A and B are shown apart, each in its own frame.
Chain A
Amino acid sequence: MAETIELTIDGKKVSVQPGTTILQAAQQVGVEIPTLCYFEHITANGLCRLCVVETAGVRGLQAACVAQASPGAVVHTRSPAVDRARRTILEMLASTVDLSETPQVQALMADYGARPERFNGAQPRRPPLIDDNPVYIRDYGKCVLCWRCVQVCADDAQYAYAIDFGGRGFQTRIATAFDKPLTETTCVFCGQCVGVCPTGALKAKREYLLEQGVSPEEVFGLTRLQGKGKRSRRGPRPEVS
């Protein structure tokens, strides 16, 4: 049994097992740290950096969801440095992405006094909504690039590898191979990606149609998966000639 690690978070003493993240340690003593990309059962990649904290004597800020608790660390989860970074990330995000269906980020913005309008004339990401299959729609104008969908589609759950990334940098997007309709990919329509998406970018088609005012009867007709394009093969798709 490895020795426990003692640290201080916002003045509260915590002892945890080695390998525990700062986020988990904070939860133990009831200190809440905001998160966005982090999701318990999915590989954490430390992408959004909204969970950053300040540790005395350590340069820069650490992402609490991936940084491990270290012995004797004195961690501050709210400080001018932390707030400045979180606020700026929220502002940059809100000036890029449609967050209308991400209430927890809106709440954070109010909390941190975020003013995205400071980025006057900032380029948003607003690709057209993709409605290419009967099961779910993809509205990437709402996508924050948390990577959850890609990971559940691949090694974290489904091993279907239907979606990955396109572009890079600010132009990064979630994409199928050659940007094909999902029905022409290895997608098995398990719906796991929809389940983990935190922003409403991926949405069950039924829900979407009902929101659009389509009648429940019609919705039923429009969302039956007719077998076509449904593939259950794992990995690369076979050569079709």
Chain B
Amino acid sequence: MASSMTPDLSTLEPILERYGPQGRTRLIPALLEAQKIYGHLPETVVEAIGQALRVPLAEIYGVMEFYTMLYQEPTGRTMVRVCTSPPCAQKGGRAALQAICEHLGVAPGETTADGAYTVEEVPCLGLCDHAPAALVGETPVAQVDPGDPACWIEAPQETPLGLVGGSHRWLTARCGVIEPTDVEAYQSHGGFAGLRRALLEMEPAQVVEEVTASGLVGRGGAAFPTGLKWKFTAAAQAAARYVVCNGDESEPGTFKDRVLMEGDPLAVLEGMTIAGYAIGADKGYIYIRGEYPRAQRIIAQAIEQAREAGFLGRGILGTDFNFEVEVRSGVGAYICGEETALFESIEGKRGYPRLKPPYPTTHGLFGKPTSINNVETLCAATWILAHGAQAYRQAGTEDSPGAKMFCLSGDVAHPGVYEVPFGTRLGDLIEMAGGVAGELQAVLLGGAAGAFAGRDQLDVPLSFEGLKDAGLPLGSGVVMVFNQERDLRRTLLSLAEFFAHESCGKCFPCQLGTRRQLEIVEKVAAGEVAEVELEALRDVQYTMTNASICGLGMTAGSAIGSALERWPDIFRNGR
């Protein structure tokens, strides 16, 4: 284990032989496998990987330094990651972190002397419905008890999928109902009907038309029309095209994609396959955040099952359409949810967003036309192909057709994923989750990159147009509830910390601005901010919003800025 010992490279050989010929795109998978063997990434191991994959050492080091889940120093045999993002913090996440550290005699980031555990404080693990949550090794653990830390690290109990509700259980119909990777069960519950219809009854262009007619827009946050994205990708001249499914889901407060990947993985794969057929791609990648080992495992199993049953691979459903899906793991970087940073990561690089244009539809993964879609978007496409665009438009509003999955967390009686038609009142959605636990203070919509709504906004309809009129974002569907007991300044500090931690550092406005924002919000939290500093904060947020390269910087000041506008007094004296 000790870093002074020369690692035995022979265990690594088979991995290098397998990955070597594919070159740089295998860098992160190779580093992850090496890390499994050696517990961290010793220099000699990294050199061997560089030789085999032909990647310069300085660039590998750059990659290792970028991602938080790649370790240069030995770590414990079990990683204990405790979430302290707002919904978990509300329910005792910090106390749980402190308890586990005291129990093990380490500080966050440290490893126990016997090499058994490393404890880390981490942002949202996508388990907000199970707050306070932790990831122990590869096991997601719910409601960790600060009073009994030994229990949940020594015998971690795997969390169940979580609560799924709502009036329109379209995409979530099978979640928690069938054995997730059972192809038979999937089919008897309507699975693969969409793929059958697409492949056997429709031309690719008709599939694109059907999705366009449904009015489906992307669920990853940017709300781009999915049909149009597919059309542009299909139209781009190229020898190869790719489908990418974005399962990075690292926006604090978001866990709907996890529920879909773990609860109905075959629907995700079906959506990718339909997309592949529509745009003329025979290869898809699904990029799943590193903190979702269970989703990765379930998706990998589902791929095997689907391939065995002939729903992936060559000649799908007896047609001449071929499609393969490969799973890629994230390695601890929120920015890799941004589509072009995600491509860079698959290509084996630091997760730096690219300049746009050109857009992914013409220059995406490996420089080829790529349609990148969110997990929920692809599941919606699966549903639309099975039931038709008209059926989809039966729910929702004229301008926001269909249903949407919302992630309710924080001070609601029953946190979970709720699938409801667009246009549902915010207050009704909260009621569906059992109502506010306590007296309502604020709702954070859209996640860390979102904005705060106040008590006076419960009548806002959750549709694109309704939210726009109210000056609120839909984002990825986060509805984080805060009761009157909560110190919002603590929440603002947590958001500021998150962005400072996650900025990639490429462009100056965000690289510097997320840091300056944090420093000022630290003063706010300490109750000692000067008026000129609030002015400076507004300038920083303005500059990040308007001059940054990518969406991270553009939204890094959004939630805090919305609070500053709505509740200036909180910034001055905490109330």
**A and B: interacting chains:** yes
**B66 with A168: CB separation less than 8 A:** yes
Interface residue? B355 (CB, 8 A):
yes
Q: Which of B162-170, B210-218, B462-470, B542-550 contacts A (4 or more CB under 8 A)?
A: B542-550
Name the residue on A nearest B512 (C-beta): A92
Beta-carbon contact of A164 and B62 below 8 Å: yes
A166/B61 in contact, CB under 8 A = yes
Chain A positions within 8 Å of B, measured between CB atoms, are: 45-50, 52, 60-61, 63, 66, 81, 84-85, 87-89, 91-93, 95-96, 118-123, 144-145, 154, 161-172, 175-178, 185-186, 235-239
A52 to B422, CA, bound (A): 37
**In contact, B57 and A236 (Cβ under 8 angstroms):** yes
Residues of B within 8 A of A96 (CB): 512, 515
Q: How far is the CA of A66 from the CA of B190 in the complex (A)?
A: 49
**Interface residues of B, CB < 8 Å — how many?**
51
Chain A CB within 8 A of B294 CB = no
Instruction: Give Cα A46 to B503, complex, Å.
Output: 16
Main secondary structure of the interface of B (DSSP, over half): helix
B543 touches A170 (CB 8 A): no
Q: Is there an interface contact between B519 and A145, defined as CB atoms closer than 8 Å?
A: no
User: Which of B47-55, B93-101, B262-270 lies at the interface with chain A?
Assistant: B47-55
Contact B548 A49 (CB under 8 A): yes
Is B504 a contact of A88 with CB atoms below 8 Å? no
| Given known A85-B542, A169-B514, A172-B511, contact A237–B503 (CB-CB < 8 A) | no
Q: Choose among B61, B350, B505, B547 the residue with the greatest number of A CB atoms under 10 Å from its CB.
A: B547
B504/A119 in contact, CB under 8 A:
no
Would A46 and B56 count as touching, CB distance under 8 A? no
* Chain A contact residues: helix, strand, loop or mixed: loop
Structural contact, B536 and A119, CB atoms closer than 8 A:
yes
Are B532 and A177 touching (Cβ within 8 A)? no
Chain B: CB-nearest residue to A241 = B44
Is B60 among interface residues, defined by CB-CB distance under 8 A? yes
Task: Determine if A171 and B43 form an interchain contact, defined as CB atoms under 8 angstroms apart.
Answer: no
Interface pairs (16), CB distance under 8 Å:
A63-B547, A84-B542, A85-B546, A89-B509, A89-B543, A92-B508, A92-B543, A119-B516, A164-B59, A167-B65, A169-B511, A172-B505, A175-B62, A176-B58, A177-B60, A178-B57
Query: Residues of B contacting A163 with CB < 8 Å?
Result: 58
Contacts A60-B545, A88-B543, A118-B532 given; does A170 touch B59 at CB 8 Å: no
The one of A47, A92, A123, A178 in contact with B513, judged by C-beta atoms closer than 8 angstroms, is A92
Whole-angstrom distance between the Cβ of B382 and the nearest chain A Cβ? 33
Known A88-B540, A169-B500, A239-B47; 18 more pairs at CB < 8 Å? A46-B355, A46-B507, A49-B507, A81-B546, A118-B536, A120-B530, A122-B516, A165-B350, A167-B65, A168-B504, A168-B505, A170-B511, A170-B512, A177-B58, A178-B61, A186-B56, A186-B58, A236-B54
